[in-house]
Structure 1
């Protein structure tokens, strides 16, 4: 017996997926005809230091990539909406990563029309300990950065008058 769903929600997990297109294709597969998928995830930053840490740490897709992935998977009525905390004020010159919500509707029964080859993953090579250590240190620095920047922006919001960009 097969089960299909009215909605598929993917919430701030895409940055950990090794192959995002496969995950979106799978969401298409499990939906009923007319079902809606919603993916909420981070957006690629604009500030150089934020971009550096984003590239080192994990996947931060561009808004255009989210839309492209949904359309390639077969979704129709694809829409993207930017999301962020109340204090964000919509300015991205500081490179703070805000998120977006992408939705799409499954227009036809069956699997996604997207054809992907077999999943290729090479786990036979041993990990270089020095490379691992460097990535661990940079990842820890990135995680710290992405905790401190929102705190800084929240504090700045408390000081800068309403209506002014922060």
Structure 2
């Protein structure tokens, strides 16, 4: 099944994003466009720590590299975020981005990947599972509270000033 466009919104949960972008390339028609929307790795140390514990927060450069390696041309990245963001990174959140690329040639992606490396037969360490669950829950709460805090600051700080 060929397509003119593919939009992917769950990339932060994928164990191997490069495979998903390669697959998007495969299903597109020539000239078709793929768009990935996802979070971006934070700059503030505490935000980075929680981002690394919770899920995949790629760097902007990684998104672009994944598209280019899959064979996409005219790759473009645009930062996205809420109104309160105001483009300042003091709080350590870059928020997210959308990355688009155009499929220039027919067929499969030129990228060659080996077999999947996931080992589902290995037993899960219960201590590590519990630790990751707790840290992941704290991280999830952190990434809910920081935007609420920033929204409140946006309501208080005059509009011409960075927050």
TM (norm. structure 2) is 0.98
Q: Does 1:100 align with 2:68?
A: no
Q: Quote the Cα distance in structure 2 between the aligned partners of 1:97 and 1:139.
A: 20
Question: In the alignment, which of 120, 133, 136 is matched to residue 133 of structure 2?
Answer: 136
Provide the residue aligned with 2:21 in structure 1.
Answer: 24
Would you say how many aligned residue pairs link Structure 1 and Structure 2?
163
Provide the residue aligned with 1:127 in structure 2.
Answer: 124
Provide the residue aligned with 2:7 in structure 1.
Answer: 9
Provide the residue aligned with 1:145 in structure 2.
Answer: 142
The alpha-carbon deviation at position 15 of structure 1 amounts to 0.7
Local SS of the residue matching 2:162: coil
Structure 1 segments, 4+ long, off by >2 Å, are none
Q: Quote the Cα distance in structure 2 between the aligned partners of 1:52 and 1:97.
A: 14
TM (norm. structure 1) is 0.97
The alpha-carbon deviation at position 97 of structure 1 amounts to 4.3
Question: In the alignment, which of 33, 37, 40 is matched to residue 36 of structure 1?
Answer: 33
The alpha-carbon deviation at position 123 of structure 1 amounts to 1.5
Runs (5+) with no aligned partner, structure 2: none
Q: Quote the Cα distance in structure 2 between the aligned partners of 1:110 and 1:125.
A: 36
Provide the residue aligned with 1:67 in structure 2.
Answer: 64
Runs (5+) with no aligned partner, structure 1: none
Question: CA-atom RMSD, angstroms?
Answer: 0.7
